[in-house]
Amino acid sequence: MRVLLIDDDERVRKTVSLMVRELGHEVREADSGITGLRLFHEEQPDLVITDIIMPDMEGVETIVEIRKIRPDMRIIAMSGGGRIKNTDFLKLASAAGATVTLNKPFDDEELAAAINVTVP
CATH number of the domain at 94, please: 3.40.50.2300
- Please report whether residue 69 resides in a domain: yes
Q: Considering the domain boundaries, does residue 117 fall inside one? A: no
Burial 32-42 (b: 16+ CB within 10 A, else e): bbbebbebbee
Question: What is the tens place of the pLDDT at every residue in 57-109?
Answer: 999 999 999 999 999 999 999 998 655 555 578 888 999 999 999 998 999 99
Q: 6-54: per-residue pLDDT in tens?
A: 999 999 999 999 999 999 999 999 999 999 999 999 999 999 999 999 9
Task: Give the side-chain half-sphere CA count within 13 A for 104.
Answer: 23
Q: Counting Cβ atoms within 10 Å, is residue 88 exposed (0-12), middle (13-18) or buried (19+)?
A: exposed
* pLDDT at position 81: 63
* pLDDT tens, position by position, 18-28: 999 999 999 99
Tally of domains in the chain: 1
Q: For residue 29, is it within any domain? A: yes
Is residue 120 in some structural domain? no
Question: What is the distance between the alpha carbons of residues 52 and 94, in angstroms, rounded to a whole number?
Answer: 11
Range of the domain at 20: 2-112
Residue 119 lies in a domain: no
pLDDT at 91 (0 to 100): 87
pTM: 0.93
Q: What are the Cα distances from residue 19, in Å, to 47, 50, 59, 64, 87?
A: 14, 14, 20, 26, 23
105: left (phi over 0), alpha (psi -120 to 50) or beta: beta
What's the pLDDT at 12? 95
